[in-house]
Structures are given as structure tokens and as C-alpha cells.
Amino acid sequence: MKKNILFSTTRQWNPGDEFILLGVINVLQEILGDFNSIIYNRSPEVRQVKGYLNPFRTKEWTNRSFSGKKNIEAFFRIGFYDNSFKENMDASFINYVVFAGSPEWMGRRSSPLYDVILRYKIPTVYLGIGSSNVITYNMIKERYRTVLESSRLIIVRDEATREILQPLNPIKLSCPALFASKEEKEITALQKIALIFSTHKAVRSNRVSQETSAYLVSLYGALMKSYECEIVCHYIDELPEAFHLFPGCQIHYSYDSRDYLEIYRKFDFVIGPRVHGIGICASHGIPGILISHDLRADTAHGFGAKIISTGTNISEVISLIEKSRQSLGKSTEALRMLKREMKTEYLQYLQKVL
């Protein structure tokens, strides 16, 4: 009988979360075969930070019918229509809960899920989780510690999270976005570069600083003069800005995160500030340079990427690209080996607990 796995992730919010989920599912299928994938959707459009305080975000309210209901829902965001797990559901059918990457493995948006895990005693694993804040283990609330301490497996993707969870002896491996693509491409020459665009004009939590935004525009303009480059946007707010800033340049975007497998497959190299854009390229065997702008940059080490900071001299970036051009074959093969080694380790750990 097919198992039911509940994944903590986001949908239609940050494609990076969905790249991670693709990789997690690919790995789990090698162990469990076919299963039913269910998501606990942490997208802020679905679950606001304090949404758990709203007693009307339930299936019961959604099913009610009376005059004026639609007006109330429009003004107060009442009801729950998303095709994802609702915390007041009977969760006895869930076999496992999997936290699929992301720094949001605890917090108010995840709090209702922890209540469900504790209430139904659901076996839980954490795969490739990271951190965007510096805290200590003792600062984690008891309900989260209870689930963490009883979890079957904790794999982290960065040093900061390993330090935070050090009392639990977590395992540090590459982020599962490395497994998003099942196949790698052959790269024999550096012909086309993907430039991942971000802007300070996007919504909070999906934007970069104004300083980073200005640096990207300057850097990408310079690179377009020397290389064949195309722009890739992950979030809708970036799209009109990209068309305004880079007229005449090919610009890629899709609402469907799976489309990025084919979008990025067209390229031989990638540069940008989005960690998991670098990650999904690494899953193809495409090397890259991450432009660091927050604590999550450490994750890119697990993708074999070079990491630079905002403001790095453009001549230095070009030098890195040229060095990569000279050793492109070796870099691609190194990524293939990294992917194989990491998958082997993931499978070994997961086979012991599932």
C-alpha cells in the first residue's frame, strides 16, 4: 500500500523550496517506491505568521454557507481553500512528516504542524534544513525540541544549523536540491551563462538589499558585453524590473518550479544570489558562482560553488569565470561525483530509519 508523506514546504512562494522538495522526493522514491506526496504549505499567502490564532481558517468554516460569507472572507482572510494539509484534519493516515530543507523548520508558521506531529505521534525526519538566524539550542521552544529529539533523522545543510542542533548530533550533508534533476548534462564548453536576477523591489523575504540589487545590475551589464548571457527570474515581482533593466536580453520565468529544470539545462554556467538556483544547476552538473547576501550562503559550499560577496570587483568575477572555463570539464565531473557521493550517504541514512 502506498505510504502518505507530509512535506513541510512552500508552494507558489519561493521556487528554491520546491527545488529542495524535488530532490527530497527523488531520493525517497529510491527507498519507498511510489507514495502519496502531501504538503503542509507554509506560503505566507496560505499561512500568515499568526494565522494559527485565527479560528476561522478551518475546513468547517470553509464548508459553511450563509448570506454575506464571501464579503467576510474577502476582508478577513477567513476560510482555507488551498489544496494542502489542514491542521484540523484527521492526520492518522500520515506515515511520515518530512521537513524538506528551508530555514523555516520551526517558527509560528510551522507551529500548527508540530501540534499535529505531537498529537498523532507521527515519525519525523529533517532533510537538509538550514538557518537564517544565529540562535542556540536552549533558545528553541520546548515543543520543537520535543519533536527534534524524537525525530528519526536530522540532516543539516550548513555549519550554523549544525552548531545550533549540536546536542542532537545532526549530520551535515549537501542540501537535497542537489538531487532535483535525475540526470546531468554534458558540458564541453562555456557557451551560455545564466544570470539569476533579484531585486529590492520584490516583496519581503523574496528580495535582496538595494545594495545587492544595484550590484547585480552593474555586474550583469558588464558580463553581457563579454559573454552570451540570459536572465533567469524566480519570483514574479522580478519580471517587470528585469525587462526594464535588460532590454533585448532573453529573460526566463515560470510559475511552475519544475520548468526550471529545463530552463537551467540550457546553460553551461550560472551566477546569482539565489542559493537554490545554484543548487538546481549543480544537480545538472552545471558549475556556478553564488553572490552572497545573507547567512544562507554557506549552503552553496554543498553545491561545489564559488562564493563571492556583494561588491566584489567585476574584474575578479570575470577572472573566476575564465578559470572555470579552463577547467569546465573537471568542474562538471566533480559535481557528478559530489552528487553521487551525497546521494549514497542520504540513502544509507534514510534506509536505517524508514
Are residues 163 and 225 located together in one domain of the fold?
no
For residues 329 and 210, membership in a common domain is answered with yes
Q: Does residue 53 register a pLDDT over 70?
A: no
CA dihedral 329, 332, 334, 340 (to 10 degrees): -140
Measured between alpha carbons, how far apart are the two ends of the chain, in Å? 15
| Per-residue pLDDT tens over the stretch 109-139 | 999 999 999 999 999 999 999 998 889 999 9
Provide the grid cell at 245: 533593466
Total count of domains within the chain: 2
Is 90 exceeded by the pLDDT of residue 197?
yes
Percent of the chain residues topping a pLDDT of 90: 84
Residue 231 φ/ψ, nearest 5 degrees: -90, 140
On whether residue 222 sits in a domain, the answer given is yes
Domain end (from 138, 172, 206)? 172
Q: Identify the pLDDT of residue 88.
A: 87
- Residue 349 domain-assigned (yes or no): no
DSSP state of 170: P
Residue 84 sits in a domain whose CATH number is 3.40.50
User: Is residue 29 located within the same domain as residue 142?
Assistant: yes
**CA neighbor of 161 nearest in space, from 180, 183, 135, 179:** 135
Residue 283 lies in a domain: yes
281 in the same domain as 310: yes
322-342: pLDDT as tens digits: 999 999 999 999 999 999 999
| Whether residue 150 is found in the same domain as residue 259 | no
Give, to the nearest 10 degrees, the angle between helix 142-150 and helix 111-120.
50
Establish if 88 belongs to a structural domain.
yes
Domain end, chosen from 139, 172, 205, is at: 172
Domain assignment present for residue 184? The answer is no
Which amino acid, one-letter code, is at 13?
Answer: W
Same domain flag for 110 and 207: no
DSSP string computed for 8-20: EE-SSS-HHHHHH
Tell me the pairing of strands 171-172 and 153-156. parallel
Mean pLDDT, rounded, for 35-41: 98
User: Of 112, 138, 172, which one is at a domain's C-terminal end?
Assistant: 172
pLDDT above 90 for 102: no
CA distance 207 to 199: 6
Q: Examine residue 256 and state whether it is found in any structural domain, yes or no.
A: yes
State the CB neighbour count (10 A cutoff) for residue 259.
Answer: 13
Three-state secondary-structure class, residue 306:
strand
- Of the candidates 343, 185, 176, 152, the one whose C-alpha atom is nearest the C-alpha of residue 264 is 185
Residues 144 and 225 in one domain: no
Dihedrals φ, ψ of 73, to 5°?
A: -60, -40
Residue 180 lies in a domain: no
Q: Are 118 and 199 found together in one domain? A: no
CATH label of the domain that carries residue 244 = 3.40.50.2000
Same-domain check for residues 260 and 150: no
Q: What is the pLDDT of residue 294?
A: 83
Q: What is the CB-side half-sphere exposure of residue 9 using CA atoms within 13 A?
A: 29
162 plus 258 within the same structural domain:
no
**Tens-digit pLDDT profile for residues 218-260:** 999 999 999 999 999 999 999 999 999 999 999 999 999 999 9
- Region 274-297: mean pLDDT is 95
Domain interval for residue 230: 193-338
On the question of pLDDT at 314 being above 70, the answer is yes
What predicted TM-score, i.e. pTM, was given to this entire model?
0.94
Specify whether 154 is located in the same domain as 229. no
Q: Note the pLDDT of residue 52.
A: 65
Does some domain include residue 227? yes
Residues 103 and 57 in one domain: yes
Query: What's residue 67's pLDDT?
Result: 85
For the record, the C-alpha cell of 154 comes out as 536530522
Position 76 confidence tier, pLDDT thresholds 50, 70, 90: confident
294's grid cell: 545573507
How far is CA 89 from its chain centroid? 26
